[in-house]
Amino acid sequence: MQEYLRAFRAMGSDCVVRIVVDDDRAEPILDRVVEKVAELEKRWSRFLPDSEVSQLNDHAGAPVFVSPETFTLLSLAIDAWRVTGGRFDPTLLDALQRVGYDITFDDMATRPPVDVAEVVVNTNGLDSVVLDARSFMVHAPAGLHFDLGGIGKGYAADCVFVQVMEDGVSGACLDFGGDVRVGGITAEGGGWPIVIDDPFRPGEDLAVLGLGDGAVTTSSRLRRKWPTTAGEAHHLLDPATSQPAESGLASVTVIAAHAAWGEVHAKAALIAGVADGAALIENAGLSGLLVTDDGDSIAVGQFEAFVMNGPTLDQ
C-alpha cells in the first residue's frame, strides 16, 4: 500500500487529500477529486454570480430548481438550524455583508478597514422555505438569502469521501480547510492521525487525535477576521444579534460521523458559549474540545478517548 497526496486551493481554503491505493490509479482518482470540488464550489459559492446559491438568493420569493446535491445541502442546513435551536443559521448573508464580508477572504487582505453598515437582526425563519424532493425545487420567501460556505465545505468533504471510496481506495483523509473526513486504513495499516491547530499559535499543535472512520471539524473566530471602522470583526455571527459572536470561546472542535454535521455543531457551540456549547455537543451525542478566550481547553463527551497527544484538559 502507498499513500498519494494532492494539495490545492478551493472554497477559500487550503485543501489536502491523501489516498491509499496499491496500483497506478492514484493520479486519475486525485484528478477527479479536484474536479469534483471545483464543481461543488461553482454550485455553492455566494461569490460566484452564476452559482445555484446565488440564483436562489437572486430569485428569493420564486421557485428555483437546483441539483440533487444542492437540494440535499439545503435540506441539511435547515435540519441543522432546527436541531441547534437556530444557533446555526445559514441565512445571515445580508448581515455578513454589512459587517464587511462581502468579498472573498483572500481579497480582504489588501483592503483597508471596512465601513460597517447598520446591521439589522435577521427575522427570516427557515420554516417558511418550501422543499420539493421530487423535482428538487426550493421556494424561499422574499428577502431570505443563503450563505452555505461552512456547511458546504463540510458536505463537500463528505461527498468527495464517498467518491474516492467508490473509486476503490483502501483509505482516505480529506482536509478541506479544517474540515477533515477520514476512513479506511493508512499506508501503515492503522487509523488516521488528525492534528488540531492551536488557535492562538498558528502552526503549533494543540492536540493530535486518532480516528479510524469519521470527521473532525474546527470552527475558530480567530481564523477569518478583518479590521473595520468599528473594530475587528470575524465571520461567525450570532443569529440573535447579527453581529460577530462574543461567547468567550476562541475555537470549537467536534468529532462526528460526517464533516457537515460536525461543522454545524462546532459553529453552533462556539456561538452558544462554554456551558451551552458543551451541552449542545453532548446532547447531539458528539464529542468535542472547547478552547476559551483565556486559552483553557475543555473536553466534551468522549473526546479524551481519541487523543493521542494533547493538552491538559478541563472537564
Return the half-sphere exposure (C-beta side, CA atoms, 13 A cut-off) of residue 149. Answer: 23
3-state secondary structure at position 120? coil
Strands 171-176 and 13-21, bridge-based pairing: antiparallel
* pTM of structure: 0.92
| 106-115: long-range pairs with CB below 8 Å, 24+ | 106/12, 108/226, 111/226, 112/227, 113/227, 113/228, 113/229, 114/226, 114/227, 114/228, 114/229, 114/233, 115/228, 115/229
Predicted pLDDT of residue 225: 75
* The pLDDT value given to residue 306: 95
Mean pLDDT for the chain overall: 91
State pLDDT tens for residues 17-44.
999 998 889 999 999 999 999 999 999 9
In tens, the pLDDT along 42-65 reads 999 999 999 999 999 999 999 999
Please tell me the distance from the alpha carbon of residue 266 to that of residue 114, in angstroms, as a whole number. Answer: 27
Query: So what's the pLDDT on residue 121?
Result: 63
160: confidence class by pLDDT, cuts 50, 70, 90: very high
| Pick from 254, 222, 291, 315: nearest CA to 88 | 254
* pLDDT tens, position by position, 228-264: 877 777 788 889 888 887 889 999 999 999 999 999 9
Question: Could you tell me the CATH superfamily of domain 2-43+85-121+157-309?
Answer: ApbE-like domains (3.10.520.10)
d(CA 106, CA 76): 27
